Amino acid sequence: MDIYVFSIIFAEQMNNQGNISDQKAPLLPVIIGTGFGSGFWPWGPGTAGSVLAGIIWVGLAYVVPIAALEAFTVALILLFSVLGVWATAKLMPIWGEDPSRVVVDEMVGLWTVLLAAPFFEIENRIWMALAALVLFRFFDIVKPLGIKRLDRKTGAFWVIADDLLGGLYALILLSIIGNIPGWVI
């Protein structure tokens, strides 16, 4: 799918947001909640949001000094967790409980995994981001080890919380794998 087709789909989604109520969703929560529109991707919106988060982080990794990358990543997690809870709370009465197009939680989850990345060589950061994406999506989709319990809770906070826990599990696993001698990530 090229960018033109995606922009048409995005525009249609913005005009007809599939609301469960007659109320139109406010623009700023839509932009934040859908991960700058990536949540409108028709095939796997959660993966689209995670990929966008990875692209944002890799871009930061090339411009932010290594000593500050971890702090920038923590700032992204904190900022988008707070904004994500706010945006999700605004969108849930209109779009329903944990709507699939709200992907800011996937972005926060992936950035959580990427907290491990500053400790690895800069040449391996793209591989690290790809490994983080795969591991995070595994934990986000399968929801093992208590993640499913958080996912079943209602409210905007829990929409973000289950992805933070999935990101934490993926972070631990990525840190272990990344420190195995001979593995290049």
Q: What would the mean pLDDT of 25-51 be, rounded to a whole number?
A: 97
d(CA 31, CA 38): 9
The band of 23, judged by pLDDT with boundaries at 50, 70 and 90, is confident
Task: Tell me if 101 sits within 8 A of 34, measured CB to CB.
Answer: yes
The band of 3, judged by pLDDT with boundaries at 50, 70 and 90, is low
Provide the token pair at 124: 């391996």
Q: Look at residue 128 in the predicted model and tell me its pLDDT.
A: 82
Q: Look at residue 138 in the predicted model and tell me its pLDDT.
A: 98
The band of 125, judged by pLDDT with boundaries at 50, 70 and 90, is confident
Q: What is the dihedral of CA 65, 71, 75, 78, to 10 degrees?
A: 150
